[in-house]
Chain A
């Protein structure tokens, strides 16, 4: 327990979910709760929607891979309760022998969308139920793997010449499409003058 007392939410979780709470620890004053992968989504929903907990802000979703090859990869959820002003850190352990997958929480926090895409891009964790699980930092079609994994060489897997060649075969438009910027979807919500401006420019108005 590292001396400090854990966040009361940890005891509440243990009382409510029992064996699904794998471990509780305190590090630098922050409470870390390790939960079972199958029930992580349920637990996160409970933490968000139960009035006494009210962790309504998902600060970050990230992942950690340790140098010890036996240790599982961890997906980390950093929660913050805006009304109660309390942090809570949740971890889900993903053994490396199995496919790395966990349920998406985009249905709970819309802001998890890009965070989960980043974890997918960098670590290869599949978020089940994510509406649009694509790479976000590396480009679509990046073929060298997931760069933050420990088995990924610092300079990438391909030779420099091959990396340059592959990068130059991409068209800039492939990175930043109108669809990606959601201009076409948002078009009807624009003000009248902005919409007319787009129509004059022959932009997204036709879509």
Chain B
């Protein structure tokens, strides 16, 4: 962006250029700048990481500095789904329904270890990472992540948005699940939830 600089007199064209009322920019920059700085989050808070997000939204860390202070529990009026907490299988269809209701352009932030990978809940009841349910743009690690971590995740998402182009037709295409109702191949879902950590000694057949 180049704001019109004051010129020391001259002809009509020079007068136009020197006016402070116009700028030159790429349209992508303008659109992305607007989108990145007016993200409307849809809070999906099934568990304790939500407490850290509340701290992030409150005055000390002040999420409104990023144009995100409107936390609306209305997926149809939201840009970014923030999932903070473990998602049990029983809740999976609700998460998918909320994601489906959000209009394009939309993004998703997965806050914390459980939303990103199942965390310590490597059990029969828990989704091992919400990317098996909906596409995720930014994963924030931590159990729970501190507000600084959540803010860093938001800034990473802004950085990602600022790299998009409105001429790229693939970006805004709604990603549809396959005939099984899934985004990932079954083998990928199985592979990314391979056991590790505390429960490594228990096999599926035990």
Contacts and interface: CB of A to CB of B under 8 A. Distances in A.
B195 interface: yes
Interface string B119-141: 00011110110001100000000
Interface in A62-108: none
8 contacts: A139-B90, A153-B124, A155-B122, A155-B123, A155-B199, A157-B204, A160-B190, A168-B133
Contacts of B132: 160, 164
B171 interface: no
Given A159-B186, A161-B187, A162-B186, 11 more contacts: A153-B205, A155-B124, A156-B125, A157-B204, A160-B189, A161-B185, A161-B186, A163-B89, A164-B132, A164-B133, A172-B94
Nearest to B124: A156
Contacts of B185: 161
A160 B192 CA distance: 9
A154 B122 contact: yes
A153 B204 contact: yes
Contacts of B195: 155
Contacts of B123: 154-156
Contact of A168 (B92, B122, B190): B92
A162 B94 CA distance: 18
Interface string B180-194: 111001110110010
A152 interface: yes
A93 B132 CA distance: 42
B202 interface: yes
B181 A169 contact: yes
Interface of B: 89-90, 92-94, 96-97, 122-125, 127-128, 132-133, 177, 180-182, 185-187, 189-190, 193, 195, 199, 202-206
Nearest to A139: B90
Interface in A150-204: 152-157, 159-172, 175
A44 interface: no
A164 B199 contact: no
B120 to A, nearest CB: 12
A167 B190 contact: no
B191 to A, nearest CB: 9
A123 to B, nearest CB: 14
A170 B92 CA distance: 9
Contacts of B90: 138-139, 167, 175
Most A CB atoms within 10 A — which of B94, B124, B128? B124
A160 B124 contact: no
By Cβ-Cβ distance, the 3 closest A-B pairs, closest first, are A161-B186, A156-B124, A167-B89
A152 B124 contact: yes
Interface in A106-158: 138-139, 144, 147, 152-157
A163 B189 CA distance: 10
A169 B181 CA distance: 7
A43 B182 CA distance: 52
Most A CB atoms within 10 A — which of B93, B97, B187? B93
Contact of B202 (A147, A153, A159, A175): A153
A39 to B, nearest CB: 36
A138 B126 CA distance: 11
Contacts of B93: 167-172
Contact of B182 (A159, A161, A171): A161
A153 B201 CA distance: 12
Nearest to B192: A160
A10 B181 CA distance: 57
B137 to A, nearest CB: 20
